[in-house]
Structure 1
Amino acid sequence: MSQLRATKPGLLVCAAICVSVFLYVRVPNREESEEEPTHPAVVGCGFYPDELCSALFEGKEAALQIAKFCKTPHGLEILARFRTAGNCSRISQALHFMSRPLSAEEGNFSLAYIITVPKELATFVQLLRAIYVPQNVYCIHVDEKAPKKYQTAVQTLVSCFENVFISSKRQKVANTGFTRLQADINCMKDLVRSKFQWNYVINLCGQDFPIKTNKEIIHYIRSKWNDKNITPGVIQPPNTKSQMSQSRPESTPEGSIYVSPNKIFKDKPPHNLTIYFGSAHYVLTRKFVQFVLTDIRAKDMLQWSKDIHSPERHYWVTLNRLKDAPGATPNAGWEGDIRAIKWRNEEGKVHDGCKGRYVGDSCVYGPGDLPWIIRSSSLFASKFDSSTDPTAVTCLERRHRRQALRQAEVPADPHWRFQQRSHLNAKLNR
């Protein structure tokens, strides 16, 4: 009783805040307040109920305020299920993985994914289960410098699925640079050699998350890019030519690597190739991947790219502009809605500003960016950082699963659905 009396004032404050905020969320016509509410420090507010997520998608200010102080430690529920589930059947069910194609159309159209795994296991689980269906195939690149415990956990999960495997060749990977490009090439070799017959390959990293369902991705490819590659980009602009200088890999004391440009400019490209500048993200046909792995121009271009800055932003788009490349789009520009990204220099023109925070030239999304993200026609959105603010991905994941099940042409197994939450569990930080 004495403990209850001691915590009663704090509990009343928290309860009052939660009730008032949710009343605001429920009543859309109420006049918005410009002042931020005062509130006690909060450790967790449950697993982000659908009611809160729905309000965030609508851009309700009250929902944004409650999301600011409701910070559930990322991945606790996911990790708990992963560690206690036991055998593979229980793991896949506990983590809500799909176990059958959701339609005949999807079952007959296989996608391959190349995933450079994030630093956190829970983030990887969320990304993989969002895009996982048994008819697709997934090559996972685990950074060579990742802790052994993490590598073991990823291997444990991957081994539960026949169509998911770890790349046969690992290396240290920087966010940009040749190591990132080589990691994709390594996975492409594994995918071509695998027993799975896939139609297109898509590359993802740990900061990506899907906006569209598997069915919607297939419809987009078939309707606008049938048998064509998607590599947004243009002939290298003059302001990027200085970035084509040679670069050198460097290391930090912690073992992370990054790429630092030199002042020495690169020699002319092999075979007199016209260099294009574009996105590091792509959707490529299987025939084009085989071309990349065997054509002499592609091989020489890869060697030439070893010491240039951000080669992943030149390599794919340059090769896809060759007229004789399978699925080539020689006259394409920035077409291709692959990623929804808020670039700093496009604020006020393409988007309404970053509601999370800018890191470098691009936005790391926060809950306030959700309305813009779900309005996007892109297949995926980037960037997210669930370790600092899991709300955005958590809400997107729940929305994505509901859409997939709504579009399904087969009965849903019970474990495909996420647990429904309609309440807020507030805990005081003491």
Structure 2
Amino acid sequence: MDTHSTQSPSMSVRWLRRYRAFFLILLCIIGIQLFLAYKSLDIVGSNNGSGLEAEAESSDAATASPARPRPVAGTPQPRLTAKQLGFEPQCDIQAKEAISALQRAKTKDCRQHIAQIACSIQAGRFYATQLTSSCPAGNHTANVSLGCYRDEKDHRLLGGYFSSFKSSNSPSRCVELCLQSGYPYAGVQYGRECFCGFDTPPSASKLPDSSCNIKCLGNAKEICGGFYAMNVYETGIAKFTAQLAATSSPTGESRVRIAFLLTLNGRALRQVHRLLKALYAPEHVYYIHVDERQDYLYRKLLELETKFSNIRLARKRFSTIWGGASLLTMLLQCMQDLLKSNWQWDFVINLSESDFPVKTLDKLVDFLSANRGRNFVKGHGRETQKFIQKQGLDKTFVECDTHMWRIGDRKLPAGIQVDGGSDWVALSKSFVDYVTHPRKDDELLQALLKLFRHTLLPAESFFHTVLRNTEHCHTYVDNNLHVTNWKRKQGCKCQYKHVVDWCGCSPNDFKPEDWARLQATEQKSLFFARKFEPIINQAVLLQLEEWLYGPYTQEYVNLHGYWQSLYDHEDQHGGHDDLARSVGDSLMRLAAKQLKVAPLELLELTHYLHRDQYKGFLVRFRARRDDPNAKDLYLETRIRPVQQGKLARNARFSKRLRNFEVSTDFDQKEQIARNFAKLMGPNSDLVLSYTYQGSSDSNSASHSYNLTLLWLDPLGRLQDFNELHVEDSTTDVINHSKTLLKQPLTPGIWTAKLIGRNSIYAQLKFLIAPLAYGNGQPLQSVDNAQKRNGGLGLSLPEDFELPVEWQQHLHNENEQFSLRQEAESHGKLLGVDLHNWIDGLVGKFFQLRESCLEEAQTDLPLPLCSETLWSSRAPDPKSDVEALLK
């Protein structure tokens, strides 16, 4: 008898009774998990406006608006009142992004603009829903069914693109998606799947229509393929193939003329001159748009108009922010201006001050002469749907208050292909005429112009999309003639949040270590490179010029010098230059005192670099001898900013610490603080940066350091702290740490201390300079002075518990009380007393070096500025654009 068989039933019953509760709980958990998983899939499918599976936005495609908790289901959304807005909106605005934008916009005009567009979109009357392409489609007709075809897992019938709609698939929706992405064929399969492809399905794969028998999840009345069976449709467009550029033109063809459209920003005047020198020839045209906010650059370049008949500056100027719709408006306006002019040209090429040629002008003209009538743009080179999402093309943006506000999602018009990539283009005159003079009956172009006026980075997609969908599609060449120095790990640091509700990427500056990329352009149809900034690195520009035009002679003057304007007295003064004028005036007074002359007027502040090393900035000013009848003197003094730092002598960490400094405007892309002059005032956003030198011994034991950075104000109070973790490395590592300080900062001498558990590793004293100006005007009232220079607030909360080990680094209460009284007194100073206070502080953190005179004076034995290599008045032939006239 088998004992196991007789005993097993009773044992099983007892076992089941014992663990029944456990099994019931386990089944409930599994059921709940399955239900939540199903609901999450539904949410993903239904929330995606483009019909794709939603993807979590990465760091280069995330909204910059403050994070807010998700509303609980069923709770009413917040609504904005007329009292909050300052006007009565046309509708009850519901889009949460629009509500956020309206809450953050500063001016009433901007809020009204946002509200008007938001209401128009909400009413469904803003964007076109369907457009018709005029690019020849051959024999293709939209939504024509080709039948049911067999698909294979390892060899897809339509292998261009795939998406699963989860709960809303249909043939028409799949066709729309594939057409938008540029595919001639669309296929639906297994109810929910959508495939796109370029190639006609082979007849050998044809199946009976009955093999496609699964209902569409988006429309149960339609069939969406079967199990490895696909219903295939035409999208209505032909397979797009970009034109191949010709390399030589027929004998006897006339050479093209180019309109170089320079769109400029910043203060790098000498680099603009240098670019013009490299591009200049009398038969070409140079049309220059300078950002509306850049008075200095506009004023200086305007001088070229009287000397060159083919150089003109745009009179209608725009304030162009990164990614702004105004960038496209500006380009179109400048192109209209070129068409209206009497100049003869065949191509327009847009460039910035950061571009530089990698081939001679003759080679560029030869190339374009062989490709007359074609249009050179660069596509994104990836899946169109991913490009749409990363670029934010499925969102509406509104530009006002020098900001791009994201106000909601949008559905792009059906019936057109979407394309884009780079905003640097070379366009034919006929195409420029087409896009700048839209006919009233051209619904396609009119709708696209409206669409891209409310698009982030519109110039990166507008010209591409128009080319792909109009009769000009046969002129599209996938090459914008540029090589761009992309280093996305560094360039995609979300650095534009202050001007856009989105994150974006920018290319890096070329440096000598990137030379191989420039050399690689020699055998390619590439004629420009970007970006170049001589204030970051000039050596690579010199190397490039010598590669193109031959080596510089040894006698070449100031070959390794670079100057860039920081301040000019002719600029329109405002709050933006209060700090530069306050410190500049002080340095002028200190220099004049040293030279025993009377200071009269600060004229210019100029950065000076030699061999890519910052040598300080130059203070140019007007002064006079004691004799009232004496002639005015024009002098220039070189200044070196200094910060008073100490490093622990015996600490292993401190021995490898380099470039320990406090500044502002830290550029994560270039890993450098752009405030070279170290001008910091009460409204500055401070950042500490340092380099931790890599160890040369890869076999030595690795160390890590947990450190604290203390920020102490002039009263010896703790204002902020940062926790830092530093790991040993074999390569140099550049780190930075930002503060969250309450502004205005207390003027005076601040201290940054880098401490460990028991010791100080580094200490740095730096200056927060008092202001002598407010909004461009000298301070003339005590209230105004206290508003700028009386900041005595604390950044840390009152209930912050100070660690005991930190207290030794702070002043005691008696010292703080005494220093507070002194700071309160200083904050009320005006006139000469204010200037004396500023001079006393500035003299400790800025060293006066050499001086020079613009005109020789027998009683003031100084060298002439024109003969002084560091002076901004010294010859600089590499940027002497007027040499072209000789």
Quote how far apart the aligned CAs of 1:402 are.
4.0
SS at match of 2:518: helix
- RMSD over aligned CA atoms reads 3.4
The structure 1 residue matched to 2:350, chosen from 181, 203, 206, is: 203
SS at match of 1:278: coil
Asked whether the 8 Å contact 2:254–2:369 carries over to 1, the reply is no
Is 1:367 aligned with 2:531? no
The structure 1 residue matched to 2:433, chosen from 265, 290, 303, is: 290
- C-alpha distance in structure 1 between counterparts of 2:474 and 2:554, whole Å: 39
Name the residue aligned to 1:117.
264
Change (3 A) 1:299 1:402: farther
Spell out, residue by residue over 1:313-356, the C-alpha distance to the aligned partner (whole angstroms, 9 max, x if none). Answer: 11011111235128633xx5xx3251111323599xxxxxxxxx
Percent identity (aligned): 21
Quote how far apart the aligned CAs of 1:300 are.
3.0
- C-alpha distance in structure 1 between counterparts of 2:337 and 2:424, whole Å: 19
Asked whether the 8 Å contact 1:236–1:276 carries over to 2, the reply is no
The structure 2 residue matched to 1:280, chosen from 423, 437, 444, is: 423
- C-alpha distance in structure 2 between counterparts of 1:305 and 1:345, whole Å: 25
Is 1:265 aligned with 2:413? no
Spell out, residue by residue over 1:184-221, the C-alpha distance to the aligned partner (whole angstroms, 9 max, x if none). Answer: 11110111011111111111011111111111112222
Asked whether the 8 Å contact 1:229–1:327 carries over to 2, the reply is no
Name the residue aligned to 2:360.
213
Name the residue aligned to 2:482.
339
Asked whether the 8 Å contact 1:109–1:199 carries over to 2, the reply is yes
Change (3 A) 1:194 1:419: farther
Asked whether the 8 Å contact 1:168–1:190 carries over to 2, the reply is no
The structure 2 residue matched to 1:143, chosen from 285, 291, 296, is: 291
- C-alpha distance in structure 1 between counterparts of 2:554 and 2:409, whole Å: 53
Asked whether the 8 Å contact 1:203–1:282 carries over to 2, the reply is yes
- C-alpha distance in structure 2 between counterparts of 1:141 and 1:327, whole Å: 30
Name the residue aligned to 1:246.
396
- C-alpha distance in structure 1 between counterparts of 2:466 and 2:397, whole Å: 21
Change (3 A) 1:258 1:417: farther
Is 1:231 aligned with 2:377? yes
Quote how far apart the aligned CAs of 1:372 are.
2.0
Name the residue aligned to 1:408.
none
Name the residue aligned to 2:543.
395
Higher helix proportion: 1
Name the residue aligned to 1:162.
309
SS at match of 2:298: helix
**Amino acid of the residue matched to residue 373 of structure 2?**
D
- C-alpha distance in structure 1 between counterparts of 2:436 and 2:383, whole Å: 24
Quote how far apart the aligned CAs of 1:141 are.
0.3
Tell me which moved more, 149-158 or 180-189.
Answer: 149-158
Quote how far apart the aligned CAs of 1:272 are.
3.8
Asked whether the 8 Å contact 1:177–1:312 carries over to 2, the reply is no
Change (3 A) 1:327 1:400: farther
SS at match of 2:469: coil
SS at match of 1:307: coil
**Amino acid of the residue matched to residue 162 of structure 1?**
S
Name the residue aligned to 1:175.
322
- C-alpha distance in structure 1 between counterparts of 2:359 and 2:453, whole Å: 34
**Amino acid of the residue matched to residue 325 of structure 1?**
H
**Amino acid of the residue matched to residue 286 of structure 2?**
Y
Asked whether the 8 Å contact 2:404–2:456 carries over to 1, the reply is yes
Change (3 A) 1:360 1:278: closer
Asked whether the 8 Å contact 2:482–2:528 carries over to 1, the reply is yes
Alignment of 1:18-57 (within 5 A): none
Asked whether the 8 Å contact 2:483–2:529 carries over to 1, the reply is yes
Name the residue aligned to 1:319.
466
Name the residue aligned to 1:44.
none
Asked whether the 8 Å contact 1:158–1:165 carries over to 2, the reply is yes
SS at match of 1:276: coil
Asked whether the 8 Å contact 1:293–1:299 carries over to 2, the reply is no
**Amino acid of the residue matched to residue 479 of structure 2?**
G
Asked whether the 8 Å contact 1:143–1:172 carries over to 2, the reply is yes
Structure 1: any 5+ residue segments left out of the alignment? Answer: 1-103, 252-256, 348-358, 404-415
Spell out, residue by residue over 1:235-267, the C-alpha distance to the aligned partner (whole angstroms, 9 max, x if none). Answer: 86222223111223365xxxxx4535x261234
Asked whether the 8 Å contact 1:401–1:417 carries over to 2, the reply is no
Quote how far apart the aligned CAs of 1:421 are.
6.8
Asked whether the 8 Å contact 2:377–2:422 carries over to 1, the reply is yes
Count residues in correspondence: 291
- C-alpha distance in structure 1 between counterparts of 2:421 and 2:560, whole Å: 44
Change (3 A) 1:231 1:346: farther
Is 1:192 aligned with 2:339? yes
SS at match of 1:141: strand
SS at match of 2:375: coil
SS at match of 1:364: coil
SS at match of 2:456: coil
Asked whether the 8 Å contact 2:354–2:530 carries over to 1, the reply is yes
The normalised TM-score by structure 2 is 0.30
**Amino acid of the residue matched to residue 374 of structure 1?**
Q
- C-alpha distance in structure 2 between counterparts of 1:422 and 1:185, whole Å: 39
Spell out, residue by residue over 1:11-34, the C-alpha distance to the aligned partner (whole angstroms, 9 max, x if none). Answer: xxxxxxxxxxxxxxxxxxxxxxxx
Asked whether the 8 Å contact 2:422–2:480 carries over to 1, the reply is no
Higher strand proportion: 2
Quote how far apart the aligned CAs of 1:145 are.
0.6
SS at match of 1:112: strand
- C-alpha distance in structure 2 between counterparts of 1:199 and 1:205, whole Å: 20
Asked whether the 8 Å contact 1:176–1:258 carries over to 2, the reply is no
Change (3 A) 1:117 1:159: farther
Name the residue aligned to 1:58.
none
Quote how far apart the aligned CAs of 1:106 are.
11
Change (3 A) 1:115 1:327: farther
- C-alpha distance in structure 2 between counterparts of 1:155 and 1:382, whole Å: 25
- C-alpha distance in structure 2 between counterparts of 1:259 and 1:196, whole Å: 35
Name the residue aligned to 1:385.
533
Spell out, residue by residue over 1:217-237, the C-alpha distance to the aligned partner (whole angstroms, 9 max, x if none). Answer: 1222244x3321111216862
Quote how far apart the aligned CAs of 1:274 are.
2.0
Quote how far apart the aligned CAs of 1:176 are.
2.4
Spell out, residue by residue over 1:371-423, the C-alpha distance to the aligned partner (whole angstroms, 9 max, x if none). Answer: 321321321001112222222223323443449xxxxxxxxxxxx99964799
- C-alpha distance in structure 2 between counterparts of 1:418 and 1:138, whole Å: 32
- C-alpha distance in structure 1 between counterparts of 2:458 and 2:558, whole Å: 47
